[in-house]
Amino acid sequence: MKIKKKYKLPLDKFIDYCLYNKQKGYYINNNPFGKKGDFTTAPNISRLFSEMIAIWILSFWQNLGCPKNFNLVELGAGNAEMMKILIESFRKFPNFLSSCNIFILEKSPLLTKIQKKNLKGNKVIWLTNLKKLKKKPTIFIANEFFDAIPIKQFIKLNNSWFERFVSIKNKENVFFFDKKFNMEKFEKKIKYQISSKQNFIEYSEEGVKYLSNISNIIKKNKGGLLLIDYGYFERKMKNTLQAISNQKYSNVLKNIGHSDITHNINYNLFKKIIQNIGGLKVKTTTQRNFLIKVGIKQRAEIISKNLTFLKKADIYYRLERLININQMGSLFKVMLVKNKNIRFNLGFQK
């Protein structure tokens, strides 16, 4: 996106510029994952996480009746650490692997290059959009995908709504400002009264488009979406915009192109959007509950047998990071979207 003549950008356009601009974009020029990266995702903390996702996928496939030809799509695969472990796990189930068409949806050319290097020798197809996906039963996996999609912000002041913009005319003095916004017209467009009982709104047009497209694919062709991301269940929306650099919070308006910009998912909003599509069921839980129900503690016990004390300690330290309520266990939530007639609840049992 060229911005030479357009110095006042809606927040989502500003975030898109910061993350995906071909010259300066954060995800275009940086590999933010791993020890040297700006943040660490669950698959990079412990292979146990990816193994639990593999078990969940295999179980869901069996629940679908073991289709001989189906799609597995990872949305935004990072450095491909999770997909690497998934494929390793799937090799133990040759019938599954021979039936599975593996896809990765990735917007960043740099990350695609890294993923292809890490998955060399494996049969994986890369996509830049979902249009090329063939009409087959499809399982979608989205781990920390939706939080990195640009958002709009709306603020209610004295019974009037305003949209948040960013002025970038002076690179030394980038600042937020608000413009009056026609919320009624916007709600007619999105066919949802998003402003009801709200005084602050975060909304991602691109994120909702992905969610709607995926939900419609699931509805028509069977399958499901497993969404794992940090977020909240409360109906009341809040300002969750944040930037991260060198594993620390940074100023959203500074270090443009050198910081990751994210937000927390409002799962209640996602649930409403999916319910409006119809024909689908939604289940939610915390990452802690999901991983424990799938069997991560039992798996940790199995792989730690006969290991030295230090290696055992390392396994359980990493496990704790994933499931502790004061760490990722409560901060990260998990959502399952599936056809309403599919009786599959692994990870979401009460």
pLDDT per position as a tens digit, 146-205: 999 999 999 999 999 999 999 988 777 889 999 999 999 999 999 889 999 999 999 999
Q: Of 189, 72, 203, 184, nearest to 146 (Cα)?
A: 203
Residue 164 within any structural domain of the chain = no
Flag whether 23 is in a domain: yes
Mean pLDDT of the chain: 91
Asked, for residue 73, whether it belongs to a domain, the answer is: yes
* Residue 249: how many other CB atoms lie within 10 Å: 10
Q: How buried is residue 24: exposed, middle or buried, by Cβ count under 10 Å (0-12/13-18/19+)?
A: middle
| 179 occurs within a structural domain | no
The answer as to whether 110 is a domain residue is yes
Q: What is the pLDDT of residue 36?
A: 54
Q: How far apart are CA 115 and CA 122, in angstroms?
A: 11
Question: Tokens for 175?
Answer: 């600042």
Quickly list H helices, the chain. Answer: 11-20, 26-29, 42-45, 47-63, 81-90, 94-99, 109-118, 183-190, 205-221, 267-277, 287-294, 296-304, 309-323, 328-331
User: Whole-angstrom Cα distance, residue 245 to residue 241?
Assistant: 14
User: What is d(CA 128, CA 349) in angstroms, rounded to the nearest whole number?
Assistant: 34
**Token output for 104:** 């990765």
- Cα separation of 65 and 139, whole Å? 13
Other CB atoms within a 10 A radius of the CB of residue 337 amount to: 23
For residue 320, tell me if it sits in a domain: yes
The enclosing domain of 92 has a CATH number of 3.40.50.12710
Are the CB atoms for 115 and 126 separated by under 8 Å? yes
Of the listed ranges 126-135, 199-208, 231-240, 261-270, the one predicted with least confidence: 126-135
For residue 263, what are the domain limits? 14-151+204-339
In a domain, 61, yes or no: yes
Task: Say if residues 322 and 254 touch (Cβ distance below 8 Å).
Answer: no
CA distance 322 to 128: 30
Among 277, 243, 239, CA closest to 258: 243
**35-39, 275-279, 337-341, range with the lowest pLDDT:** 35-39
Residue 302 included in any domain:
yes
What's the pLDDT score for residue 35? 54
| Residue 32, pLDDT above cutoff 70 | no
Number of domains the chain is built from:
1
pTM: 0.92
